[in-house]
Amino acid sequence: MGEPLFVTPVSAEEIERGDGPDFGTFSQFLKITKDSVGGPTGGPMVLRPWQSLMLGRLFARRADGRYKHRQALIGMPRKNGKSALGAGIALYGLAFGPQGGEVYSCAADKEQARIVFGTAKKMIDLQPEFSGMFNVYRDAIEFPATGSVYRVLSAEAFSKEGLSATLVMFDEVHAQPNRELWDVMALSTGARAEPLMVGITTAGVKSDSTGQDSLCYGMYQYAERVASGETIDPSFYCEWWGAPEGADHTDPAVWEAANPGFGDIVAAEDFEAAVLRTPENEFRTKRLNQWTSTAQAWLPAGAWDACEDSEVTIPDGSEVVLGFDGSFSNDSTALVVVSCTVSEDDKPHVDVVAAWEKPQGVGQDWAVPIIDVEDEIRRACRKWQVREIVCDPFRWARTYQILEGEGLPVVEFPQSPARMTPATQRFYEAVLNETVTHSGDPRLARHLANCVIRTDSRGSRLSKDSKGSPRKIDLAVSAVMALERACQEPERTPEPQFWSWADL
């Protein structure tokens, strides 16, 4: 068994205080509901070590005794026991939750939501010790001891107002057509002291029917930022199992690494047959838990990672080029530094100076802090010998005039095909040939991963994968412009002129 692609941080102390062991004890009463590799119908549902670790993190508790997490996203390929695990969590929340608890199963449609709910009903039917403890109905399970109820819901979000959920099990989040139902159910937990929403899903396509990021892919990207430390949100938990992008989907070693239950819950023979008859994209999403897109990614998977050298830094006083790509409101603003090459043996080094993105949950009135951006550029010019500050003149003309008036070496770099096509090609070749290094900044990696290549009669250049996409690429654009100028002679004067704060 391999390891998850990433897990958001949970401390050992929080796990020790949590309900993982209690769930483990409760799970000994749960039964397998259908014959499978994991065992026959009616046999005990034995938690695997990876499941125990996951549940220990999911049910972690803070120092004040409350659950650490309010929302969770668990991603894993099909056939790894998601439905049984979800049903067990729902029954645990029903039996051991607060007085008057409300537990719900949700999905894109009612039949999908019934899968987890139906599994829970079968678990009750198969366990004699549960007789008399639960009242089972078509669309509800009651636990009279606490006055709590577990219901299955359809996808029409408008009918869910007035609920007060303590636990929500959201099956196959990737299939949600939009985020309306998720938001309504999240709102329904607001009055509870320690509610928990758990989405269990496979991957899917990145965009929904509107062309925007799907609910699930947006949560996945948010989880990546939390896992990397880019975003701090201790209330959000994610554990994602799957194969890295670009992995050989026909390789049994990849199957095993991506599927925690491979050879135990999941039959290896099933993969051998499925890979021959399943379309590649379908195999990747359902069996390897990889996201797919209708557009072609720019950089090959793993190419940027291969250029990482975290031991390399750009020393103070070094000759550099700054790349700047700015916006005012809903997009992001980026400032990247690239060291200039001194000899043919030198490798330019790329790093992020600063980036500004609209925070999660902030309204449309958010704007980039222009003064902060200008001050950050000035600080970078005090730290290094800045040969050029390359930037697209669109929208930020006032800032460029101010900085030029202070003597800073601003150089306009319009993002036209004539400029961006050769710059894009240079960056691409440098990455593939590993003639550039970087520090592994997760923000830059994310922006590069969001880039696709658009080609027309004017040439190839970077783009988002769809018009109006919320996925940011500004750090990538800044890096491309800065690398292009760092590998060229300066534009401003025949003899290089360096600006420093002491010149003012």
Taking the C-alpha atoms of residue 73 and residue 238, their distance in angstroms, rounded to an integer, is 5
Band of pLDDT at residue 504, cut at 50, 70 and 90: very low
The DSSP 8-state label assigned to residue 106 in this structure reads E
Region 143-170: what's the mean pLDDT?
86
Region 18-30: what's the mean pLDDT?
95
Predicted local distance difference test score (pLDDT) of residue 56: 97
Q: How far is Cα of residue 470 from the mean position of the Cα atoms in its chain?
A: 13
Q: What is the pLDDT of residues 215-256, one digit of tens each?
A: 999 999 999 999 999 999 999 999 999 999 888 999 999 999
Neighbours of 52 (CB within 10 A): 15
Is-contact 214 221, C-beta < 8 A? no
Q: What is the pLDDT of residues 328-351, one digit of tens each?
A: 666 789 999 999 976 667 899 999
Predicted local distance difference test score (pLDDT) of residue 328: 66
Region 172-187: what's the mean pLDDT?
89
Q: What is the pLDDT of residues 257-307, one digit of tens each?
A: 999 999 888 888 889 988 887 767 778 888 999 987 655 678 877 889 999
Predicted local distance difference test score (pLDDT) of residue 497: 46
**What is the number of H-type helices and E-type strands within the chain?**
16, 17
Taking the C-alpha atoms of residue 484 and residue 424, their distance in angstroms, rounded to an integer, is 8
Is-contact 409 388, C-beta < 8 A? yes
Band of pLDDT at residue 493, cut at 50, 70 and 90: very low
Judged against a pLDDT cut of 70, whether residue 211 lies above it is answered with no
Least confident of 70-74, 353-357, 362-366: 362-366
What DSSP letter does each residue of 449-485 carry, written as one string? HT-EEEEETTEEEEE-SSTT-----HHHHHHHHHHHH
Predicted local distance difference test score (pLDDT) of residue 175: 85
Closest CA to 428 of 253, 312, 307, 290: 307
Closest CA to 313 of 169, 438, 136, 500: 438
Taking the C-alpha atoms of residue 369 and residue 321, their distance in angstroms, rounded to an integer, is 23
Using a cut of 0.75, tell me whether the model's pTM lies above it. no
Band of pLDDT at residue 466, cut at 50, 70 and 90: low
Is-contact 436 307, C-beta < 8 A? yes
Task: Extract the runs of DSSP E, i.e. beta strands, from 93-227.
Answer: 102-106, 135-136, 140-143, 148-152, 167-171, 196-201
Domains and CATH numbers, the chain: 6-241 (3.40.50.300), 303-503 (3.30.420.240)
Region 459-480: what's the mean pLDDT?
80
Taking the C-alpha atoms of residue 35 and residue 43, their distance in angstroms, rounded to an integer, is 9
Spatial strand order of the sheet with 102-106 comes to 6-7, 236-240, 71-75, 196-201, 167-171, 102-106, 148-152, 140-143, 135-136
Band of pLDDT at residue 36, cut at 50, 70 and 90: low
What is the residue type of 468? G
What is the residue type of 484? E
- Phi/psi at 374 (nearest 5 deg)? -60, -40
Region 411-427: what's the mean pLDDT?
85
The DSSP 8-state label assigned to residue 67 in this structure reads B
Region 154-162: what's the mean pLDDT?
68
SS3 348: coil
Neighbours of 497 (CB within 10 A): 12
Which single residue is written with the structure tokens 């005012």? 328
Helix crossing, 417-432 with 474-486: angle to 10°?
Answer: 90
What DSSP letter does each residue of 383-399 carry, written as one string? HSEEEEEEE--SS-HHH
459-463 and 452-456: which strand pairing?
Answer: antiparallel
What is the residue type of 329? S
Closest CA to 302 of 243, 353, 252, 355: 243
The first and second tokens of residue 378, run together, are: 């000035």
Band of pLDDT at residue 445, cut at 50, 70 and 90: very high
The first and second tokens of residue 94, run together, are: 């029903």
Q: How far is Cα of residue 248 from the mean position of the Cα atoms in its chain?
A: 22
CA distances from 217 to 173, 222, 340, 431 (A): 9, 8, 37, 26
Average pLDDT taken over every residue of the chain: 87
